Amino acid sequence: MASGEEDSTNGSASEAVGKRRCLGLLATAWLTFYNITMTAGWLVLATTCTVVKMYRLVHFYVEKGIHKGLYKSIQKTLKFFQTFILLETVHCSIGIVPTSVLVAGVQGSSRIFMVWLVTHSIKPI
């Protein structure tokens, strides 16, 4: 009887390890996708997107020689990727990254505050 009990507990333990490993692989896959997406987004902001013929940061300044109109040309993309940073707080809260939720929340909220509230309240931007 003792050996039967050991088998059932070991089976449960191995199932739990298997579930954790599966969740670990899923978390790794998600974080890989998230980081590739964020990198691609920042690259779009930093270079010229020839598909839509919209000038971005470096190309805009080189071509125009002035910064006026720069924010308007990157506004939507910048807001999207800065808002996407809220997922970092979610990552911390569900435990797939070992960072404090408070730290990630403060960093993300300060970026969102700057992009959404400050830029809309200051007209010359």
pLDDT of residue 19: 56
CA dist list (Å): 79 to 1, 8, 75, 99, 111: 63, 52, 6, 24, 10
Q: Where are the domains of the chain?
A: 7-122
Question: Per-residue pLDDT tens for 22-73?
Answer: 668 899 999 999 999 999 888 877 764 444 444 556 666 677 666 666 677 7
Predicted structure pTM score: 0.62
